Amino acid sequence: MTTTKKGIVLMNLGSPDSTKVKDVRRYLNEFLMDERVIDMPYLSRLLLVKGLIVPFRAPKSAHAYSTIWTKEGSPLMVLSKQLQAALQQQVTEPVALAMRYGTPAPWTAYDELLEKDPDLEEVVLVPLYPHYALSSYETAVEYAKEAHVKGKYSFKLTIIPPFYDNTLYLDSLAESIKPYLQQEYDHIVFSYHGIPERHVHKTDVTGHHCLKVDNCCEINSEAHKYCYRHQCLFTTKKMVEMLQIPANKYSYAFQSRLGRDEWLKPYTAKRLTEFPSEGVKKLLIACPAFVSDCLETLEEIAGQGREAFIAAGGESLTLIPCMNVHPMWVKAIASWIKEY
Ligand SMILES: C=CC1=C(C)c2cc3[nH]c(cc4nc(cc5[nH]c(cc1n2)c(C)c5CCC(=O)O)C(CCC(=O)O)=C4C)c(C)c3C=C
Ligand SMILES: [Fe+2]
Ligand SMILES: [Fe+2]
């Protein structure tokens, strides 16, 4: 029996090169000019992003990054590199890292793998997103595929699908949350990165299900394959079942809204200011849409979010860290590689 010579690419979102405003500006321009993130015709997008959003956002984001930046760089990059190293301990195939924005680009990762093994026959791409969204999973995959075609690489590219319902992901996530449920708490919120409602309509393959039918995400539909909201709600439901969280002690919410469009609701930022008046004083927050801690968990939730919650009368907000390099999570990725 001959075995295929494989390599692995872990792919995440990416961070600016530094907290300097010019680096953050370059990163935001690349990110927000992505048509799967700001889905507008090119000229309108250019005017909005370069004329309005980035000039105002870059200094604010640079400051936000400066509050979480480490000696080794952005937490997202540092933790992604740690995940790469931990996975490399578990598998014999070479493991490289790629980012959708900034560096390392997918072609850099492909070249790195080929340098280690010029006879490489297959690369397994692991987009580090549990849930499908145009602005996360799809854009990463399309970018990696484009780099594969443009670079005329001869190896086969195999792509791991969104893993929101995969037992190994759910087991690792539950295991990473479990210790935090031992402490006294009033409520746990599962906070997912938000997306515009328009994106949910766009990915509805039926054209008439998502956000149009009552309880759309709970009624069986072929739309769920691409429905970010369904997939987030599914992950929440599984966590609640597996961790036996009482029905009155949990909720879900969506964070990181940008602009004035309607995004998935409820908004985390609003809920944080409402919880204390509902009797929630000790709050836990888990962020299952992120596999590695990043600006959105460390600054938006544990920084600004905690401040808003306390100012509204809350006592404590505990951010449950992402899976990061949890041994079960590393093993989960290693076994997906074997399966594919
Ligand atoms: C979990 C998946 C993600 C989805 C879906 C997503 C959608 C989305 N994001 C923006 C705008 C921004 N997001 C930013 C940071 C950021 N986003 C994700 C993941 C998803 N985004 C991560 C992991 C991060 C953190 C990166 C890091 O370096 O730590 C930012 C940059 C920071 C800021 O200025 O707030 C922007 C901008 C939109 C518009 C969108 C859906 C359309
Ligand atoms: Fe984002
Ligand atoms: Fe749905």
Cα→Cα distances 102→90, 138, 157, 227, 303, Å: 27, 17, 21, 27, 25
- Cα(75) to centroid of ligand 1, in Å? 14
Distance of CA 314 to the CA centre of its chain: 27
pLDDT of residue 1: 59
Ligand nearest to the CA of 77: 1
What residues are designated binding site for Fe(2+)? Answer: 193, 296
Nearest to 191 by CA among 84, 302, 98, 324: 302
pLDDT of residue 320: 98
Q: What is the DSSP string of 1-60?
A: -----EEEEEEE----SSSSHHHHHHHHHHHHT-TTTS-S-HHHHHIIIIIIIHHHHHHH
Which two tokens mark 288? Answer: 């299952």
Cα→Cα distances 45→35, 259, 263, 269, Å: 8, 13, 18, 26
CATH assignment of 6-163+327-339, among 3.90.1170.40, 3.40.50.410, 3.40.50.1400, 3.40.50.1110: 3.40.50.1400
pLDDT of residue 27: 98
pLDDT of residue 340: 83
106 within ligand 1 shell (Cβ under 6 A): no
Residues of the chain below pLDDT 50: none
Pocket test for ligand 1, best of 10, 13, 35, 230 (most atoms within 8 A of CB): 13
- Cα(201) to centroid of ligand 3, in Å? 9
- Cα(66) to centroid of ligand 2, in Å? 17
Distance of CA 279 to the CA centre of its chain: 30
The H-or-E segment that residue 295 falls in is: helix 295-298
pLDDT of residue 262: 97
Nearest to 295 by CA among 25, 65, 104: 65
334 with 90: CB under 8 angstroms?
Answer: yes
pTM of the model: 0.97
pLDDT of residue 3: 83
- Cα(156) to centroid of ligand 1, in Å? 29
Domain(s) of CATH 3.40.50.1400: residues in the chain: 6-163+327-339, 167-320
CATH assignment of 167-320, among 3.40.50.1400, 3.40.50.620, 3.75.10.10, 3.40.50.2300: 3.40.50.1400
Computed on alpha carbons and rounded to an integer, the radius of gyration of the chain in Å comes to 20
Distance of CA 178 to the CA centre of its chain: 21
61 within ligand 1 shell (Cβ under 6 A): yes
Alpha-carbon gap, residue 244 to 237, rounded angstroms = 10
295 within ligand 1 shell (Cβ under 6 A): yes
Q: What is the ipTM of this complex?
A: 0.98
Q: Which atom of ligand 1 is nearest to the CA of 134?
A: 5
